[in-house]
Amino acid sequence: MKKFLKYSILSICAVIFLIGAYFTVKGYAMYCKVLRDNPPAQAIEKIQNDEDYVSIDVLPEMYLDAVIAVEDRRFYYHPGIDIISIGRAVFNDIREMKLVEGGSTITQQFAKNIFFTQSKKFERKIAEMFMALRLERMYDKDEILELYVNTIYFGSGYYSVRAASLGYFDKEPWELSDYESTMLAGLPNAPSVYSLDNNPELASQRQAQVVSKLVKYGYIKEEEGERILSCAP
């Protein structure tokens, strides 16, 4: 019985290794193709030249803290991929035999949005990881965060923090209140679902989650979180 159990475990490990190797090779090939067809430096230069592009230096600290707290709390400490988040996601993905949890960092999300499709395929996920590691070698953390907030989708046709700020609140992003900042930070998780134009109640529920994360990770005190949420118009 022990011998059977041992061989069963080894067989399962071998299968997992072979599956992982297969998708790693496919993902790396996808990554290399993107490097040839859409070189990162050129793609990013185009983004930075957009008329709606804003510097991270003018964005409210509350907004930036909220983005990191809710999207990637270890952003400033990992090399582009978060091993802890990936381990959790891989376990859940293998259990379900499909991509049910992303485990994506801010850098990975930016890489996916700019260089790859939104398809939930293992090889795309691997390619995204290779690209994230490359981007972290090319740009510092603040530059990556700046690129991210200037390219993410907020729903209702708004594809940057400035477009969303003007569209939802009729003000420049550097004028956002703490309430508005935490509201915007939560929308990209599911922009069609949380769009303020379509589902303001769901957006408010998501905002409460954002504020909860800010409190949990020590960005603000619980009293300040309550104050922010009480400022609803």
Q: Where are the domains of the chain?
A: 2-229
Contacts 24+ apart (CB under 8 A), 224-233: 227/178, 228/178, 228/179, 228/182, 229/179, 231/177, 231/178, 231/179, 232/179, 232/204
d(CA 203, CA 190): 10
d(CA 157, CA 130): 29
- pLDDT, residue 7, reads 54
Q: Please report where in the chains the tokens 């609803």 appear, as a residue.
A: 232
pLDDT tens, per residue, the chain with 233 residues: 555 455 555 555 555 555 667 778 788 888 899 999 999 999 999 999 999 999 999 999 999 999 999 999 999 999 999 887 666 655 555 555 555 455 689 999 999 999 988 777 788 889 999 999 999 999 999 999 999 999 999 999 999 999 999 999 999 999 999 999 999 999 999 999 999 999 999 999 999 999 999 999 999 999 999 999 998 87
Q: Give the CB-side neighbour count of residue 58, counting CA atoms within 13 A.
A: 10
Q: Under CATH, to which class is 2-229 assigned?
A: mainly alpha
d(CA 106, CA 80): 8
* CB-based contact 20:94 (threshold 8 Å): no
Instruction: State both tokens at 197.
Output: 């134009």
